[in-house]
């Protein structure tokens, strides 16, 4: 093991540059996935005719596919039908597809957890079904979704490492490049990568607990 050589200023900068790509991919994927999943989860909760069934089929299909397969599909298969994506875009699209399906189930579960009495109270006060959903059900459900949703976001951040298979220049890709120069760098670089993943995920966990306590 060569900690000094593996974690030299040049290598540290190279690894941090890769980690920035990891964070960028994760943040974009989280933002888009959240928007899509709220829409899909709400439509399924409301049992919208046709669209609700269609979303259910899509969600169940995607949830039963490995993320790695979806990454391969977006980067290697789509060009066969004329859709060529760069590595960054392919990784984001694959993560959004997979995570939207996972998070939409959290959304649907959160909406279903709202007590029927609160919904009936809203309707009896003169609110329409959509107004009840918007002003009563969604605010309560979103607060209850925070812990499982943050856990899913943490999983998403870790799942970005799978994009190494398409050589996306994220953290694990840069770890592999450094390790390719010297076998003695393997353990130090893996430990440093583990520290970076742990730090950001731990911060997300703390933020989740604070939000949960704030609204409890």
Over residues 55-67, the pLDDT tens digits come to 999 999 999 999 9
Give the position of tokens 């450094």. Answer: 178
What's 120's domain CATH number? Answer: 1.10.3720.10
**DSSP assignment letter at 114:** S
Distance CA 198, CA 196 (A): 5
Both structure tokens of 168? 């996306």
SS3 helix, strand, coil % of the chain, rounded to 5? 85, 0, 15
Give the pLDDT confidence score for residue 134 in this predicted structure. 86
> Averaged over 155-164, what is the pLDDT?
93
Kindly give, in sequence order, each residue whose CB lies less than 8 Å from that of residue 98, ignoring residues fewer than 6 positions away. Answer: 62, 65, 67, 70, 159
> Which stretch of 78-82, 109-113, 115-119 has the lowest confidence by average pLDDT?
115-119
Model confidence pLDDT, tens digit, residues 11-44: 999 999 999 999 999 999 999 999 999 999 999 9
Model confidence pLDDT, tens digit, residues 120-151: 888 888 888 888 888 889 888 888 888 889 88
Distance CA 207, CA 126 (A): 37
Give the count of domains, the chain: 1
In whole angstroms, how far apart are CA 107 and each of 102, 146, 156, 209? 9, 10, 16, 19
Confidence class for position 215, pLDDT limits 50, 70, 90: low
Give the pLDDT confidence score for residue 174 in this predicted structure. 96
Model confidence pLDDT, tens digit, residues 164-214: 999 999 999 999 999 998 999 999 999 999 999 999 999 888 887 777 676
pLDDT(216) > 70 = no
Domain range holding 130? Answer: 3-215
> Averaged over 64-93, what is the pLDDT?
96
């Amino acid at each position: 093991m060569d900690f000094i050589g593996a974690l030299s200023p040049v290598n540290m900068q190279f690894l941090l540059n890769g980690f920035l790509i990891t964070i960028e991919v994760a943040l974009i994927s989280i933002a888009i996935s959240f928007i899509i999943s709220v829409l899909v989860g709400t439509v399924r909760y409301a049992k919208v005719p046709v669209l609700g069934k269609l979303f259910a089929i899509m969600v169940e299909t995607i949830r039963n596919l490995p993320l790695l397969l979806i990454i391969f599909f977006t980067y290697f298969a789509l060009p066969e039908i004329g859709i060529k994506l760069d590595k960054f875009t392919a990784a984001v699209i694959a993560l959004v597809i997979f995570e939207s399906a996972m998070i939409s189930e959290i959304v649907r579960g959160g909406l279903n957890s709202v007590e029927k009495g609160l919904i009936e109270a809203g309707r009896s006060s003169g609110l329409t079904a959509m107004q009840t959903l918007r002003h009563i059900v969604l605010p309560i459900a979103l607060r209850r979704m925070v812990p499982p949703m943050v856990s899913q976001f943490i999983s998403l951040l870790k799942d970005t490492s799978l994009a190494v298979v398409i050589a996306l220049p994220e953290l694990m890709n840069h770890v592999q490049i450094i390790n390719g120069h010297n076998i003695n760098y393997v353990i130090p670089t893996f430990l440093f990568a583990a520290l970076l993943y742990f730090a950001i995920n731990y911060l997300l966990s703390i933020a989740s607990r604070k939000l949960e306590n704030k609204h409890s």
